[in-house]
Structures are given as C-alpha cells and as structure tokens.
Amino acid sequence: MYVCLCQAVKDSEVRQAVASGVEDVDQLAEALGVGTGCGSCRDFAQSLIDEALDESLAYAA
Ligand code: FES
C-alpha cells in the first residue's frame, strides 16, 4: 500500500525506516521524501510511524 503517492513510498518502506531510527514525519521526509510533495500524506504517515513505534516497543518489552 502506498503511503505517499507523490514519492511512491509504501508502508513497508515506512516500517523499515522506523526500524532504522525514524521517529516522526520530518525524519521520514529526510529519509524517504515522504510529505515533501503535496503534503496530504503527512498525517497518515505520522500515524503509521506511531503504530510501528508501538509495535517495536511491544517487541522490546
Ligand atoms: Fe506524500 Fe503528496 S502524497 S507528498
């Protein structure tokens, strides 16, 4: 599933970026360019990041 159509970034790539240390949408923009086009994906991208962070915390516990 695409998270950011402008940059053709998929949710699997967002999860990988979170696994490599990305914690918010600004860092994701630097890493993958998400949100640097029309910007309409930023809220959804942030919720995906939060979800992935929650999952990684659950694994760590
Ligand atoms: Fe991500 Fe446009 S869909 S910047």
Q: What is the pLDDT of residues 8-38, one digit of tens each?
A: 999 999 999 999 999 999 999 999 999 999 9
* Smallest CA separation from ligand 1 atom 2, residue: 38
> Does residue 22 contact residue 52 with C-beta atoms inside 8 Å?
no
**Closest ligand 1 atom number to CA of residue 9:** 1
pTM of the model: 0.91
Q: For 33-54, how does the pLDDT look when each residue is reduced to its tens digit (9 = 90+)?
A: 999 999 999 999 999 999 999 9
Domain count, the chain: 1
CATH classification at residue 52: 1.10.10.1100
- Domain of residue 55 covers 2-60
Q: What are phi and psi of 12, to 5 degrees?
A: -65, -35
Question: Looking at residue 61, what is its pLDDT?
Answer: 67
- Dist CA 38 CA 50 (whole Å): 21
Backbone dihedral region for residue 22 (phi beyond 0: left; psi -120 to 50: alpha; all else: beta) = beta
Q: Does 28 sit in the ligand 1 pocket, CB within 6 Å?
A: no
Ligand 1 centroid to Cα of residue 6, in Å, is 4
Percent of the chain residues past pLDDT 90, beyond the cut: 89
Question: Looking at residue 58, what is its pLDDT?
Answer: 82
